[in-house]
Chain A
Amino acid sequence: MEAVFYLAAAVAVVGTVVALTRLNAVHALLYLIVSLLGVAVVFYVMGAPFVAALEVIVYAGAIMVLFIFVVMMLNLGERATEIERTWLRPGMFIGPGVLAVILIGELVYLLAGTCGQNSAAGMVGPRDVGIALFGPYLIGVELASMLLLGGLVGAYHLGWGRPEAAGTESRHDIRADESRAVAGGDLVRAGADRGAGAP
C-alpha cells in the first residue's frame, strides 16, 4: 500500500513537472492528464474513492476538454493540419503512455488485492461525504451553485462577440455557444455529483 502510494505520487509530480516544462500546449495537456490520474490514484489509496472518481470525471474529463477546445480553437489556421501532424507523432505518446501504464498497473493491483478486505485506514465513503455535504455544509452547496451560475453567465458574456464587430460575428456566436455548452456541462455534471452524493 505504501509503495503504491509513493509510486502514484511520484507519477503525479513527474507528470506535473514535465507538463509545465513543455513548450507545446497539447503535450503539456497530455502530461497534465497523466498527473491528474496519478492524483486520483493517490486519493483512492488514501481511502477516498468518491473524490477519486470526481477527480477523473471533472478534472481529467470536463476541464481538460475545455482546455483542449480552446487550444484547438486558437490554432485554427491554414497550417493547422501540418501542425497537428507534427503534434501527433507516435513518439509523443511514449512518455504519457508509460506513466499511464504504471497507474493502470497500480489500480489493477489495488483492485485485485483489496476486493476481499475493504478496510483501508481512514476510509471515508460517499455516504459520509453526502451526509456532511447536505448537513452542516448546505450553505456551501448553495454558494457553490451560485458560483457556478456566475461562471456560466460570465463565460457566456465574455464569449459573446461585440455587436460592432460584424465581420466575425458568426464565428463569435459559434464560440459563445460552445463555451456556454461546455460550461453548462460542468454545471450539470457538478449538480449530478451533488445529487449522487445524497444518501
Chain B
Amino acid sequence: MFALGLIGVLVRRNIIFILISLEVMLNAAGLAFVVAGARWGQADGQVMFIFILVMAAAEVSVGLALVLRLYHQFKSLDADAASEMRG
C-alpha cells in the first residue's frame, strides 16, 4: 500500500489526488506499526498509530487550506501550475 501511495504521488498531477496518495502512505505506515505491535503483543505500535493519525489530521487540514488558496490563485488544480510561483 505504501508503494501504491508513492506511485500515486509521482504519477497524478491533480493536487487532490496527491493529498489522497499521501493519506494512503501514512495509512500504510500506521498499518505496519500496528502489525508489528500485534506481532509482539505490545501497545507501542498502537500508540505510534495514534500519533500518525494526529499528524495526518494536522497535515490534511493544512494541505487542504493550501489547496484552496492555490485554487483561488491559479484557478486550476494542476500541480504544474504552481511551479511558476515566485517568492
Contacts and interface: CB of A to CB of B under 8 A. Distances in A.
Interface of A: 12-13, 16-17, 19-20, 25, 28-29, 32, 35-36, 39, 42-43, 46-48, 50-51, 54-55, 58-59, 62-63, 66-67, 69-71, 73-74, 121-122, 124, 128-129, 131-133, 137, 140, 144, 147-148, 150-152, 154-155, 158-159, 168, 172, 175, 179, 182-183, 186, 190, 193-194, 197
A122 B34 contact: no
Given A59-B23, A151-B58, 17 more contacts: A19-B24, A20-B4, A20-B7, A20-B12, A20-B17, A25-B17, A48-B46, A51-B49, A51-B50, A59-B53, A59-B56, A69-B64, A70-B67, A122-B40, A132-B43, A155-B61, A158-B62
Interface of B: 1, 4-5, 7-8, 12, 14, 16-17, 19-21, 23-24, 27, 31, 34-35, 37-47, 49-51, 53-62, 64-69, 71-72, 77
> Interface on chain B toward A: helix, strand, loop, or mixed SS?
helix
Nearest to A184: B61
Contacts of A179: 61, 64-65, 68
B66 A158 contact: yes
B78 to A, nearest CB: 13
Contacts of B51: 140, 144
B1 A12 contact: yes
A30 to B, nearest CB: 12
A137 B47 contact: yes
B47 A129 contact: yes
A28 B25 CA distance: 15
23 contacts: A13-B4, A16-B24, A32-B23, A36-B27, A51-B46, A51-B49, A58-B57, A59-B23, A66-B61, A67-B20, A70-B68, A74-B71, A124-B43, A124-B45, A128-B43, A132-B47, A133-B47, A137-B47, A151-B61, A158-B62, A159-B65, A159-B69, A186-B61
A63 B60 CA distance: 7
> Interface on chain A toward B: helix, strand, loop, or mixed SS?
helix
Given A59-B56, A124-B41, A155 B65 contact: yes
Nearest to A150: B58
Contacts of B77: 74
Task: Give the interface centre of A29, A158, A159 by most chain B CB atoms within 10 Å.
Answer: A158
